[in-house]
Amino acid sequence: MVTFLPAHAGHSPPQVTLRIHVQTTGEGQSTLEVTHLQVPPDGQQILIRSIPEVSEAQLVGAMQDADGLHLQFNHTGLVDLNAATAQNQGRILVVLIDGNVIYAPTIDMQITTGQLDIPHQIPANILQLLQQVAQENIRRQNKA
């Protein structure tokens, strides 16, 4: 699955993509607004909104420890993740890295901290790329 976001002048494409989507019913939405996706562990087919709720553009921190992967988002990401998890209780939150589903839990609580905790590990090279994107985002924020 591939998600396209508009390019920003002077910005090169990210070395790694991180997209967080929410399951939708598809009611009242065109085929351009929804995407079919298979989610683990049983390959359930769901519809997600084509435009992500949060992406690597809002990432300001990525850390991994024995508990899993911890992603921290800037204020915009915090607000968007908060709203998405508040308004979509019972639906599936889908986390994609480079188009691959790495986490797809049912939303059972609102995320108000701007931090998303994923209870498993990702490869070290992918973590490093996420950390580089986060550092670049912080550098851009500080320049603005």
Q: Domain ranges in the chain?
A: 18-143
Higher pLDDT, 4 or 74: 74
Q: Give the confidence band of 40 by pLDDT, cuts at 50, 70, 90.
A: confident
Q: Are 95 and 118 in contact (CB under 8 A)?
A: yes
Mean pLDDT across 56-85: 97
Kindly report the number of other CB atoms within 10 A of residue 51's CB atom.
14
d(CA 21, CA 109): 16
DSSP conformation class of 122: -
d(CA 21, CA 114): 15
Residues paired with 68 in a beta bridge: 65
d(CA 104, CA 88): 13
d(CA 119, CA 95): 12
| pLDDT reading at 9 higher than 80 | no
Look up the CATH number of domain 18-143.
3.30.1360.200
| pLDDT reading at 144 higher than 60 | yes
Question: Could you tell me the pTM of the whole model?
Answer: 0.88
**Rounded percentage of the chain residues whose pLDDT exceeds 90:** 78
DSSP 21-68: EEEE--TT--TTTEEEEEETTTTEEEEEESS-SEEGGGEEEEEEETTE
**Rounded percentage of the chain residues whose pLDDT exceeds 70:** 90
